[in-house]
């Protein structure tokens, strides 16, 4: 199979089952022709929707149904990530082979994340597609002029923010005694560190020597998309250290604010003891093994 055929399969097949088809590890040679698809094909139950659906508040995650709705929200992000990494394989066929193989590895991991979320939400009585699916990642394709801008938006921003979100939700799920769902969040956290690293490698490689990473990153994203989108409710700088960002970038991202900053209820974060100490997958495993 050619890489482009696999990418087209993920984008043009309508069913969720097809979008979960794992990649092979042998790829045929092919010509490089750039294709920019406007949107993915999706079956009726997983169509894009413009309906605004609010994610349940952290304080309400004591209810299993709200945990299910939250996971539905995250699962949507995973599906868009699968499709958009496939989109990038088609749009940037001249990317180095190692970059393409990295994206394929990312796709495989996003497929695993999607399955983990779906299994768990099913356990809470929610099916994927039960609530409207937004397409916020897909709305950014107009700013994907290059492999670097794609990585700046998708990996450094969205996947970067997910480093914060996966930590926050792992902590809140643990607070409510749901260690199984917390464990899923940490599995995903560990993978997302790798995804952000892959994106950071692409951006760093093309960074002009006379520019710092923070300035270069900002030149790759387009207003109204701002660095605020690269952070979760609460910013955990150590997660960015793990992903390999330099200290200057980490502190400037921390300080960055735009007109939408500060809408989060900081009090509710305090209630859940969302401090800057990170939970790690293997540490949680070792705690579980001791008890």
* Residue ranges that bind Fe ion, judged by CB under 5 A: 78, 110, 113, 159, 192, 195
Rg from Cα positions in the chain: 19
Nearer to Fe ion, 268 or 278 (CB): 278
Nearest approach in angstroms of CB 113 to Fe ion is 4
48 phi and psi, to 5 degrees? -65, 150
Give the count of beta carbons closer than 10 Å to the beta carbon of residue 167. 24
Sign, CA torsion 225/88/33/12: negative
Q: Which of 55, 62, 53, 64 is nearest to 271 (CA)?
A: 62
Nearest approach in angstroms of CB 191 to Fe ion is 6
Nearest approach in angstroms of CB 24 to Fe ion is 20
Local structure of residue 25 (DSSP, 8 states) = S
Nearest approach in angstroms of CB 7 to Fe ion is 16
Q: Which of 184, 162, 182, 166 is nearest to 174 (CA)?
A: 182
Nearer to Fe ion, 178 or 192 (CB): 192
Nearest approach in angstroms of CB 232 to Fe ion is 14
**Rounded distance between C-alpha atoms, residue 229 and residue 261, angstroms:** 10
**Rounded distance between C-alpha atoms, residue 77 and residue 61, angstroms:** 19
Local structure of residue 147 (DSSP, 8 states) = H
Nearer to Fe ion, 58 or 80 (CB): 80
Cβ atoms of 286 and 188 closer than 8 Å: no
Nearest approach in angstroms of CB 158 to Fe ion is 8
Nearer to Fe ion, 165 or 235 (CB): 165
Hey, which residues does 2 pair with through a beta bridge? 28
When CB distances to Fe ion are compared, the closest residue is: 195
Nearer to Fe ion, 113 or 231 (CB): 113
Nearest approach in angstroms of CB 92 to Fe ion is 17
Tallying the residues shown for the chain, one arrives at: 291
Question: Could you tell me the two tokens for 212?
Answer: 């710092």
Nearer to Fe ion, 195 or 229 (CB): 195
Sign, CA torsion 142/143/148/152: negative
């Amino acid at each position: 199979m050619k890489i482009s055929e696999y990418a087209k399969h993920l984008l043009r097949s309508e069913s969720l089952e097809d979008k979960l088809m794992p990649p092979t590890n042998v790829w045929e040679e092919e010509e490089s022709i750039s294709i920019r698809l406007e949107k993915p094909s999706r079956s009726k139950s997983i169509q894009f929707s413009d309906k605004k659906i609010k994610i349940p508040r952290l304080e309400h995650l004591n209810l299993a149904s709200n945990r299910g709705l939250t996971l539905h929200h995250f699962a949507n992000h995973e599906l868009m990530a699968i499709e958009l990494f496939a989109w990038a394989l088609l749009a940037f066929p001249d990317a180095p082979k190692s970059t393409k193989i990295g994206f394929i590895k990312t796709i495989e991991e996003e497929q695993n994340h999607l399955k983990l979320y779906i299994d768990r939400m099913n356990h809470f009585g929610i099916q994927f597609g039960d609530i409207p699916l937004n397409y916020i990642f897909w709305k950014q394709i107009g700013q994907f002029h290059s492999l670097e801008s794609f990585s700046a938006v998708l990996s450094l921003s969205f996947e970067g923010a997910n480093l914060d979100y996966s930590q926050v939700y792992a902590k809140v799920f643990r607070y409510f005694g749901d260690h199984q769902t917390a464990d899923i969040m940490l599995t995903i956290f560990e993978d997302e560190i790798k995804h952000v690293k892959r994106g950071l490698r692409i951006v760093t490689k093309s960074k002009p020597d006379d520019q710092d990473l923070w300035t270069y990153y900002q030149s790759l994203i387009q207003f109204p998309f701002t660095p605020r989108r690269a952070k979760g409710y609460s910013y955990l700088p150590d997660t960015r250290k793990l992903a390999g960002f330099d200290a200057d970038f980490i502190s400037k991202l921390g300080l960055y604010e735009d007109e939408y900053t500060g809408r989060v209820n900081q009090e509710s974060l305090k209630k859940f003891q969302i401090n800057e100490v990170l939970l790690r997958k293997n540490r949680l495993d070792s705690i579980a093994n001791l008890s």
